Amino acid sequence: MSTTFIISLLLGLSIAGYFFGYRRSITLASPIGGVKNLHSRPAYYGMLVALWCGLPTFIIFLVWQSLEPSIISSLMIADLPLDYQNLPKNQLGLIINDIKNLATGNIVAGEKNAIMHAAANHYVQLQILSKWIKGGALLVLGLITLIIVCRRITPEQRARNHVEKIIRIVLFCCSTIAILTTLGIILSVLFESIRFFKAVPITDFLFGLKWSPQTAIRADQVGSSGAFGAVPVFIGTMMISAIALFIAVPIGLMSAIYLSEYAGKKFRTIAKPLLEILAGIPTVVYGFFAALSVAPFIRQTGGLLGLDVSSESALAAGLVMGIMIIPFVSSLSDDVINAVPQSLRDGSYALGATRSETIRNVVVPAALPGIIGGILLAASRAIGETMIVVMAAGLSARLTANPLETVTTITVQIVTLLVGDQEFDSPKTLAAFALGLLLFVATLILNVIALVVVRKYREQYE
């Protein structure tokens, strides 16, 4: 009994439940003068049975599925000879891994012996057994609920309200999953950051002007003790994002206005998808475009103007990133500008306003909340972007306000901190979490600001 089979079995059972419930309600309705005398329409009775039959079994299925591996492996371990069981934890882990590999037919790292073969056989048997029990139990459970719920159908039963309630609960659960996941991520980042702040004072991190996270692995090793001042990295992020937004917001907004207010239908249908392709190009491609074409170009032009431009610069990364995020601004703005009712434009035209006056004074203010949303999306894209920066702006954290020098960003530093082998409790690794937290707080503040702006304009403009 494979997993897919069990799922389709449960699905089939639900569908059958729907038909039984449907039929039963109609049967009940005929002596009392037809379907109109039922509390709810027959479909709701069907749905009620289907939901009762499908949901609990599905939940049990999920729970079983998630507990199954650990239970089976502990059952298998319990059956191993005692001298195996008393092995140190990591050795035991290796052997269990080998046994599992043996069971699935994969290549085994260590040496094999009869005990392990037996254990592997046992493991496979347990798995098969679990599958059968699972399938059988769920089928029986589903059938029982189907029958019970079906038999409890009465003409007065408030099936519609019942179904609506169940649906509401399901929807609620789904939204909670998203919220809980976010919360989980935040908490784990927060706890790791707190561990980091035990090693490095939070004030050093927030206000320190030097970022060089190379700590000595052994006490006797030569090397710097590491400096974890996040300011240069943070400034780098802000500078590159600002350059990117500086490019993307005007171009994106204006192209949106052109597309929605001036362009003909034909041009629009061609231009809009083309513009959106920009967002679909992988960032690596942008990255080497930035590193191989834009950065040298800026260096050369800078050289002609007598400026000293380094071969990797914030400007190059920012420019290319700006182009990448244009569609976020333009596409969303275009949509909201199109959603502004024509009657508002007509009202303005009828007062003798020109097209640009109408756009400036009526259309854009009316579309502002959506436009801000687009800009915000673009901004978070820019702040989170890594690849372009790695390739075009460099890795060295330098505290500078000059966009022609190399800088680095939070995301890039997180990557460099976590790439390669290291212990997971050295300050160097934990610093990544602190940076992540910083990034999170920064985007959160950005969101709040945008929300406040939108609300302020809403009050004024709606």
Partner 1 sequence: MESIMDIEGATLADNISMTLEQQAMASDQEAIKKKTIVSREDRRTVGEIYTEDPRMTCRNVNVHYGDNHAIIDANIDIGRNEVLAMIGPSGCGKSTFLRCLNRMNDTVEGCRVTGEITLDGQDIHGKNIDVVPLRAQIGMVFQKPNPFPKSIFDNVAYGPKIHGLASNKSDLEEIVETSLQKAGLWEEVKDRLNLPGTGLSGGQQQRLCIARAIAVSPEVILMDEPCSALDPIATARIEELIAELRKQYSIVIVTHSMQQAARVSGRTAYFHLGDLIEVGETERVFTNPRHQLTEDYITGRFG
Q: Could you say which DSSP state residue 32 is in?
A: G
Tell me how far CA of residue 98 lies from CA of 9, 93, 124, 289, 392, in angstroms. 34, 9, 13, 46, 45
The answer to whether residue 460 forms part of the interface with partner 1 (CB under 8 A) is yes
Cα four-point dihedral sign 340, 341, 343, 349: positive
Among 31, 280, 341, 420, binds partner 1 (CB under 8 A): 341
Q: Shortest Cβ distance from residue 363 to partner 1 (Å)? A: 10
The answer to whether residue 347 forms part of the interface with partner 1 (CB under 8 A) is yes
Three-class secondary structure of residue 227 per DSSP: strand
Segment interacting with partner 1, rule: CB under 8 A, options 34-42, 156-164, 237-245, 341-349: 341-349
Segment interacting with partner 1, rule: CB under 8 A, options 171-179, 337-345, 405-413, 431-439: 337-345
Q: Count helices and strands (H / E) in the chain.
A: 18, 2
The answer to whether residue 356 forms part of the interface with partner 1 (CB under 8 A) is no
Kindly state the tokens that stand for 1: 């009994």
Among 311, 354, 422, 447, binds partner 1 (CB under 8 A): 354
Segment interacting with partner 1, rule: CB under 8 A, options 88-96, 195-203, 361-369, 420-428: 361-369
Site size for partner 1 (CB under 8 A): 23
The answer to whether residue 214 forms part of the interface with partner 1 (CB under 8 A) is no
Q: Shortest Cβ distance from residue 460 to partner 1 (Å)? A: 7
Find where tokens 């140190």 sit.
Answer: 88
Among 70, 90, 225, 342, binds partner 1 (CB under 8 A): 342
Segment interacting with partner 1, rule: CB under 8 A, options 51-59, 126-134, 338-346, 389-397: 338-346
| 362-401 residues near partner 1, rule: CB under 8 A | 362, 365-366
Q: Shortest Cβ distance from residue 262 to partner 1 (Å)? A: 13
Q: Shortest Cβ distance from residue 259 to partner 1 (Å)? A: 16
* Cβ closest to partner 1, residue 366 vs residue 412: 366
Three-class secondary structure of residue 309 per DSSP: coil
Give the type of residue at 265.
K
Cβ pair 411, 388 in contact under 8 A: no
Contacts of 428 (CB under 8 A, 6+ apart): 213, 214, 215, 226, 417, 422
Among 40, 348, 380, 409, binds partner 1 (CB under 8 A): 348
* Cβ closest to partner 1, residue 308 vs residue 346: 346
Among 84, 258, 349, 440, binds partner 1 (CB under 8 A): 349
Kindly state the tokens that stand for 394: 């460099």
Distance between CA atoms of 29 and 76, rounded to whole angstroms?
A: 55
Segment interacting with partner 1, rule: CB under 8 A, options 110-118, 285-293, 310-318, 454-462: 454-462
C-alpha 60, offset from chain centre: 27
Q: Shortest Cβ distance from residue 349 to partner 1 (Å)? A: 6
Residue 214 has, within 13 A of its CA and on its CB side, a CA count of 7
First CA to last CA across the chain, in angstroms?
59
Q: Shortest Cβ distance from residue 131 to partner 1 (Å)? A: 57
Among 178, 277, 350, 419, binds partner 1 (CB under 8 A): 350
Residue 88 has, within 13 A of its CA and on its CB side, a CA count of 2
The answer to whether residue 361 forms part of the interface with partner 1 (CB under 8 A) is yes
Distance between CA atoms of 174 and 126, rounded to whole angstroms?
A: 33
Q: Could you say which DSSP state residue 106 is in?
A: P
Among 357, 422, 448, 455, binds partner 1 (CB under 8 A): 357
The answer to whether residue 269 forms part of the interface with partner 1 (CB under 8 A) is no
* Cβ closest to partner 1, residue 272 vs residue 398: 272
The answer to whether residue 453 forms part of the interface with partner 1 (CB under 8 A) is no
Distance between CA atoms of 379 and 372, rounded to whole angstroms?
A: 10
Distance between CA atoms of 166 and 371, rounded to whole angstroms?
A: 37
Cβ pair 324, 298 in contact under 8 A: no
The answer to whether residue 266 forms part of the interface with partner 1 (CB under 8 A) is no
**Which residues are at the interface with partner 1 (CB under 8 A)?**
341-354, 357, 361-362, 365-366, 459-462
